[in-house]
Amino acid sequence: MAGLEGQATDQATLAEAEARISHDALRRFDDIFRRGAGAFSILALLVAWEVFARSGKVTPFMLPPFSVVAERIYTDAFHGDLWINLGLTLYRALTGFFIAAIGGVTLGALMSRSRLVRWFFDPLISVGFPMPKIAFLPIIILWLGLYDISKISMVVFDAIFPVVTATLAGIAGVDKALIWSGRNMGAGERQMMWQIILPAALPQILTGLQVALPIALIVAIIAEMAMGGYGLGGAMMTASRYANSPGVFAGIVEIAVVGYILIKAMAFIRRRLLVWHTETAPS
Give the residue among 157, 161, 154 at the shortest CA–CA distance from 225: 154
Q: pLDDT 10s per residue in the chain (283 long)? A: 545 455 555 555 555 655 565 555 556 655 665 665 567 788 888 889 889 888 888 888 888 999 999 999 999 999 888 999 999 999 999 999 999 999 999 999 999 888 898 899 888 888 888 888 888 888 888 888 888 899 999 999 999 999 999 999 988 888 777 777 777 777 677 777 777 888 888 889 999 999 999 999 999 999 999 887 888 999 999 998 888 999 999 999 999 999 999 999 999 998 888 876 666 555 5
What is the C-alpha radius of gyration for the chain, rounded to an integer number of angstroms?
A: 26
CB neighbour list of residue 77: distance below 8 Å, 6 or more residues apart: 83
Euclidean distance between CA atoms 267 and 264, whole angstroms: 5
CB neighbour list of residue 27: distance below 8 Å, 6 or more residues apart: 282, 283
Give the residue among 6, 46, 201, 207 at the shortest CA–CA distance from 113: 201
What is the CATH code of the structural domain delimited by 66-280? 1.10.3720.10
pTM for the model stands at 0.81
Residue boundaries of the structural domains of the chain:
1-57, 66-280
Question: Could you tell me where the DSSP H helices lie in the chain?
Answer: 2-53, 66-79, 81-113, 115-128, 137-144, 148-172, 176-184, 189-191, 198-227, 232-241, 245-273
